[in-house]
């Protein structure tokens, strides 16, 4: 069924980190998005498009709102939803004390399905429409996630975690079983509807050399799939990698040696990257997921966003929440914290660049920028509607904002999940919230 959405529309057609904003920004003060068969059929000025639209096509108008491409979360752990905000000293202690305890429960598919349901509702409530998701070592955790995602036809990336050492026995596989289970899950899920599969070694310290080899091999055997992991998050972690892989020159070289860098490889963090690390990622086409709330919460360090996006060796970079090390599902909150980290590094992250990182930039990091992340004809109709009067503070602050740039900067600074008024997946309304009553409704999930 054809339908249309009308209101203020914000999107990006190119990268504002490297090009003037006038060449990147696509903004309509009164825009119309025509949707058919889950995709955007037309987009432009309502004044120009409405006369050509059949009178029978329903038009939903959003007042005091901003229509954006759905936010994309490049790195998140759905099993960690239950441990968000858990106190921990730093990364390794936090993994041992909370993460590995929680993830053992996901051997039970019913438990995993219930957790996936909670997780998906939370990201939809925050305006996120696509995520690159870590499951657990258990294949049923992957089945549970993709089954829940398929109910509402979401474009999500996910995979079974590979770990054959330095983890509790209940969370370890073997190099061979991890390979076999990954291969079976790829055949079952990759390209099934809108599902995409990611080979998922948790991080180098929890995989033996044999498993690292087999992870690289299974990824190479299945072109078009993804590979996701973690890198250079914490200084002690980096030192640990040196002791575990003494023949490799550095952390990046570990992944490169085992064939795990390249297009559709997405790594969380990269906080302590050197110029040579950026070079390796830039030259291979691998991407980084910037996880600001997690990096701050666990004291990991300050990501060099300016180097990643406009340094000598630019790297595809998208924004991520990294739940549950991250502390909020809202990418508006991620933008806010990314701004603060950039400030501490002497780089002023403006609002257009921040919104780009959560939309088209995130899509580019996942090699999906020809289908997601922008409002353009032919793109999949995943959209978020941001309420410009979501809270009294937001309404008051925006009343004094004199430009689009000031409005969206204020929105990302004081906004959170409450700013998501509606979320569309493949053109269908999946979540809505009444800004006056705060009554929420999910459709089909």
> Is the whole-model pTM more than 0.95?
yes
Q: Decide: 226 and 191 in contact? Cβ < 8 Å.
A: no
Q: Are residues 129 and 211 in the same domain?
A: yes
pLDDT at 171: 95
pLDDT confidence tier of residue 412, bands split at 50, 70 and 90: very high
Mean pLDDT, residues 314-341: 97
Domain boundary, last residue among 365, 393, 414: 365
Kindly state whether residues 63 and 107 are assigned to the same domain. Answer: no
Q: What is the pLDDT of residues 358-406, one digit of tens each?
A: 999 999 999 999 999 999 999 999 999 999 999 999 999 999 999 999 9
CB count within 10 Å of CB 278 equals 21
pLDDT surpassing 80 at residue 293: yes
- The two beta strands, 420-425 and 383-387, are antiparallel
The number of angstroms, rounded, from the C-alpha of 196 to the middle of its chain's C-alpha atoms is: 13
pLDDT tens-digit profile of 155-181?
999 999 999 999 999 999 999 999 999
Q: Say whether both 82 and 211 belong to one domain.
A: yes
* Whether residue 132 is found in the same domain as residue 244: yes
Range 72-91 average pLDDT? 89
Q: What is the pLDDT of residue 278?
A: 98
Instruction: Say yes or no: 423 and 352 in one domain.
Output: no
CATH of the domain at 50: 2.30.40.10
Quick check: 113 pLDDT over 90? Answer: yes
Identify whether residues 287 and 353 lie together within a single domain.
Answer: yes
Is residue 98 scored above 90 in pLDDT? no
Please give the pLDDT value at position 445: 86
- Cβ(146)–Cβ(113) below 8 Å: no
Q: pLDDT over 70 for what percent of the chain?
A: 100
Predicted local distance difference test score (pLDDT) of residue 388: 97
Cα–Cα distance between 115 and 227 in angstroms, integer? 23
Domain count, the chain: 2
pLDDT tops 80 at residue 89:
no
Q: How far apart are CA 37 and CA 183, in angstroms?
A: 31
The mean pLDDT of 72-88, rounded to a whole number, is 93
The parent domain of residue 132 ranges over 71-365
Q: Which residues of 335-350 are buried (b: 16+ CB within 10 A; e: fewer)?
A: bbbbbebbeeeebebb
Q: What is the predicted pLDDT for the residue at 251? A: 98
Q: What is the CATH number of the domain that holds 77?
A: 3.20.20.140
The answer on 226 and 292 residing in a single domain is yes
> Would the pLDDT of 438 be above 90?
no
- Given 310, 339, 365, which residue is the final one in a domain? 365
Q: How confident is the model at residue 317 (pLDDT cuts 50, 70, 90)?
A: very high
Q: Could you read off the pLDDT of 43-63 as tens digits, one per residue?
A: 999 999 999 999 999 999 999
Q: Is the pLDDT of residue 182 over 80?
A: yes
Do 143 and 291 lie in a common domain? yes
Same domain, residue pair 159 and 200: yes
pLDDT of 86: 85
Quick one: pLDDT band at residue 437, thresholds 50, 70, 90?
A: confident
Same domain, 296 and 383: no
Domain boundary among 349, 365, 381: 365
Q: Is the pLDDT of residue 88 over 80?
A: no
The pLDDT assigned to 20 comes to: 98
- Contacts of residues 307-311 at CB distance under 8 Å and 24 or more positions apart, as own/partner, are 307/273, 307/275, 307/278, 308/270, 308/273, 308/278, 309/15, 309/17, 309/18, 309/353, 310/17, 310/18, 311/275, 311/278
Q: How many CA atoms lie within 13 A of 66 on its CB side?
A: 25
- Residue 299 φ then ψ, to 5°: 65, 30
φ, ψ dihedrals at 277, nearest 5°: -65, -45
- For residue 93, the model assigns a pLDDT of 78
Q: Do 316 and 389 fall into the same domain?
A: no
Cβ-contact 157, 363 below 8 angstroms:
no
Instruction: Check whether residue 329 and residue 418 sit in a common domain.
Output: no
């Amino acid at each position: 069924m054809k339908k249309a959405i009308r209101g203020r529309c914000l999107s990006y057609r190119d990268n504002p980190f490297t090009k003037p904003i006038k060449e990147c920004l696509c903004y309509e003060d009164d825009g119309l998005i025509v949707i058919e068969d889950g995709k955007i059929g037309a987009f432009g000025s309502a004044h120009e498009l409405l006369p050509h639209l059949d009178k029978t096509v329903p038009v939903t108008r959003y007042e005091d709102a901003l229509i954006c491409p759905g936010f994309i979360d490049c790195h998140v752990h759905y099993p960690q939803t239950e441990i968000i905000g858990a106190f921990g000293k730093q990364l390794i202690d936090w993994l041992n004390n909370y993460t590995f305890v929680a993830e053992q429960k996901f051997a039970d598919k019913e438990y995993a399905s219930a957790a996936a349901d909670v997780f998906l509702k939370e990201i939809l409530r925050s305006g996120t429409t696509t995520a690159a998701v870590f499951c657990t070592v258990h294949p049923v955790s992957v089945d549970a996630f993709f089954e829940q995602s398929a109910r509402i036809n979401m474009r999500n990336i996910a995979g079974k975690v590979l770990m054959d050492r330095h983890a509790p026995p209940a969370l370890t596989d073997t190099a061979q079983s991890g390979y076999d289970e990954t291969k079976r899950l790829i055949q079952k899920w990759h390209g099934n509807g809108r599902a995409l599969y990611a080979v998922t070694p948790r991080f180098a310290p929890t995989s033996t050399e044999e498993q690292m080899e087999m992870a690289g091999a299974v990824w190479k055997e299945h072109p078009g799939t993804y590979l996701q992991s973690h890198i250079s998050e914490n200084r002690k972690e980096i030192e640990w990698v040196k002791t575990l892989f003494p023949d490799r020159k550095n952390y990046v070289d570990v992944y490169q040696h085992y064939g795990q860098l390249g297009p559709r490889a997405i790594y969380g963090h990269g906080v302590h990257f050197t110029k040579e690390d950026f070079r390796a990622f830039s030259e291979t086409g691998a991407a980084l997921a910037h996880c600001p709330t997690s990096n701050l919460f666990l004291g990991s360090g300050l990501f060099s966003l300016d180097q990643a996006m406009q340094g000598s060796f630019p790297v595809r970079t998208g924004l991520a929440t990294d739940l549950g090390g991250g502390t909020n599902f809202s990418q508006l909150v991620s933008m806010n914290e990314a701004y603060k980290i950039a400030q501490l590094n002497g780089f002023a992250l403006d609002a257009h660049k921040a919104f780009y990182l959560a939309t088209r930039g995130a899509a580019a990091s996942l090699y999906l920028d020809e289908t997601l992340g922008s409002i353009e004809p032919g793109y999949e109709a995943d959209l978020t509607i941001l309420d410009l009067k979501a809270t009294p503070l937001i309404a008051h602050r925006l009343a004094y904002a004199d430009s689009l740039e000031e409005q969206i900067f204020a929105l990302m600074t004081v906004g959170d999940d409450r700013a998501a008024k509606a979320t569309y997946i493949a053109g269908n309304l999946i979540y809505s919230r009444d800004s006056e009553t705060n009554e929420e409704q999910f459709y089909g999930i």
